[in-house]
């Protein structure tokens, strides 16, 4: 028989099979990692114009012919995943 922890607030609520996944259950950890990656990409993208004065040397800016930057794409990804 399992030992009950008096500090466990889930006792008496619902069985483990009935509970919705939470951010701490580990199920959504990959979304948190992707949001972290997007946030870091925004910070790195902002460092290019700070360092060089404009976006000429930003990789996606050069590939796209000046249409977008890594930071702009990362913001879209971040907000699409966050809801």
Helices (H) and strands (E) in the chain — how many of each?
3, 0
Using CA atoms, how far apart are residues 7 and 17, in angstroms rounded to an integer? 21
The whole-number pLDDT of residue 1 equals 55
pLDDT in tens, 13-70: 555 555 555 555 666 678 888 889 999 999 999 999 999 999 999 999 999 999 999 9
Burial tier of 65 (Cβ tally within 10 Å: 0-12, 13-18, 19+): exposed
Can you list the pairs that 19-23 forms with residues at least 24 positions away whose Cβ atoms lie under 8 Å? none
């Amino acid at each position: 028989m399992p030992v009950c922890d008096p500090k466990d607030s889930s006792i008496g609520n619902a069985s483990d099979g009935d509970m919705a996944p939470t951010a701490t259950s580990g199920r959504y950890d990959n979304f948190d990692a992707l949001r972290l990656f997007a946030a870091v990409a925004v910070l790195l993208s902002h460092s290019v114009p700070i360092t060089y004065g404009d976006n000429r040397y930003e990789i996606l800016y050069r590939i796209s012919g000046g249409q977008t930057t890594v930071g702009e794409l990362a913001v879209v990804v971040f907000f699409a995943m966050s809801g």
